[in-house]
Amino acid sequence: MAQVTLDDVIARYLAPHTHTTRSSYKSIINTWLVWCNDNAINPLMATASHIEVYGRYIQEHLDYSTRYRSVSLSVICNLYKQLTIAGLVRQDPSPYVRRPRVSLHSEGSYLTREQARDLLQAAQHSPDLRLDALIRLLLLNGCRITEAISLTTGDHHTGHAPWLRLPRKGQWHQQVAITAETSQALDRISIAPDTAPIFRRDGEQLPVGAARRLVVKLCMSIGLDHITPHSLRRTFATLSRDAGVDDKDIMAAGGWTSSDMLDYYDMHSRALNGTATTTLSAYLS
């Protein structure tokens, strides 16, 4: 009987999940395995301390959020439970891994109108053609990073009124309009056949971690620190409201089923503009 391998367990662990979740979890596991290799750690001998140090590494050196760090540690710990069951790990380290506390409320980050313009220009002039298409989808359509990188050539419908068939969170698809410029940016990086991923690395779908790093690196190159792909989704919501777009249109474009999340994003944006405090101050003068 053939011996079960690490790759076998990873494949079994990922198999029950949706395509989008598999892509996300696979990226997390691959990043963990690369870190182990770079630090001469046998992943089958990793301890809880190793996993905790890795968690600090991705937050402090790769600029991932506390929430992403928590999710990554959960994915890795669940993998080690499976490795223990398969007999590849003698003692499961996961029960001893301390995970960061994640607040139910996040301040988040977003761009001003001027910063959004600068980012669009930087993406347009980037030698990496993927960035122009990716930034447009995140900023102008409010796509989640996982939705964008899951697109295939067949999901992009060109013509007078171009649109995309987006794989939404919750295992459903939605037809969403895009601008002619976004369609052209997608065309420049698309290849046959229809099943081919639009965003690729080495012929395969671009991993979510790699896509995130592309966005963060571009933002940092023009002085926009602490901006993540999800920051651009927040910006889509807040600037669309500033531009006078009806909430129902924003919700439809971003795949939201209620305006609660729009209100939540907008609350943090409005809290910083100082309108309430300056108006009341002037009123009481």
Q: Are residues 138 and 240 in the same domain?
A: yes
Task: Among 68, 86, 104, identify where a domain stops.
Answer: 86
Q: Are residues 123 and 58 in the same domain?
A: no
What residues contact 112, with CB distance under 8 A and at least 6 apart?
none
Q: Are residues 141 and 71 in the same domain?
A: no
Give the residue with greater pLDDT, 252 vs 8.
8
In a domain, 106, yes or no: no
For the residues of 55-119, what is the DSSP string, one character each? HHHHHHTS---HHHHHHHHHHHHHHHHHHHHTTS-SS--GGG-------SS-------HHHHHHH
Range of the domain at 23: 6-86
Q: Are residues 67 and 185 in the same domain?
A: no
pLDDT of residue 20: 75
Q: Are residues 58 and 192 in the same domain?
A: no
In a domain, 63, yes or no: yes
Whether the model clears a pTM of 0.75, i.e. scores above it, the answer is no
Structure confidence by residue, pLDDT tens digits, 88-129: 999 999 999 998 887 554 556 889 999 999 999 999 999 999
Gap between the Cα atoms of 219 and 134, Å rounded: 13
Q: Are residues 136 and 26 in the same domain?
A: no
216: closest CA among 119, 124, 144, 81?
119
Structure confidence by residue, pLDDT tens digits, 26-35: 989 999 999 9
Gap between the Cα atoms of 175 and 191, Å rounded: 21
Q: Is the pLDDT of residue 261 over 50?
A: yes
pLDDT of residue 1: 46
Q: Residue 29 maps to which CATH number?
A: 1.10.150
In a domain, 13, yes or no: yes
In a domain, 282, yes or no: no
Structure confidence by residue, pLDDT tens digits, 146-161: 999 999 999 999 988 9
The rounded percent of the chain whose pLDDT value lies above 90 is 64
43 φ, ψ (degrees, to nearest 5): -60, -25
pLDDT of residue 258: 79
Tokens of 16: 């029950």
Q: Are residues 126 and 244 in the same domain?
A: yes
Gap between the Cα atoms of 169 and 200, Å rounded: 21
Domain count, the chain: 2
- Which of the four pLDDT bands, split at 50, 70 and 90, describes residue 164? very high
In a domain, 100, yes or no: no
Q: Residue 270 maps to which CATH number?
A: 1.10.443.10
Q: Are residues 127 and 170 in the same domain?
A: yes
Distances (CA, A) of 249 to 142, 180, 256, 283: 12, 18, 10, 35
Q: Are residues 73 and 208 in the same domain?
A: no
Judge residue 234's burial from the number of C-beta atoms within 10 Å of its C-beta, 0-12 exposed, 13-18 middle, 19 or more buried: buried
Q: Are residues 31 and 165 in the same domain?
A: no
Angle at 28 between CA 27 and CA 33, to 5 degrees: 95
Q: Are residues 139 and 249 in the same domain?
A: yes
227: closest CA among 217, 241, 238?
217
Q: At which residue do the structure tokens 């290799």 appear?
A: 37
**For the chain, what is the mean pLDDT?**
89
Instruction: Output b/e per residue, 96-105; b: 16+ Cβ within 10 A.
Output: ebebeeeeee
In a domain, 186, yes or no: yes
Residue 184 has what DSSP assignment? H
In a domain, 14, yes or no: yes
Gap between the Cα atoms of 71 and 30, Å rounded: 14
In a domain, 97, yes or no: no
Q: Looking only at Cα atoms, what is the longest distance across the chain?
A: 85
Assess whether the previous peptide bond of 16 is cis (omega < 30° from 0).
no
pLDDT of residue 94: 94
Tokens of 176: 């969403």
Q: Are residues 256 and 167 in the same domain?
A: yes
215 φ, ψ (degrees, to nearest 5): -65, -45
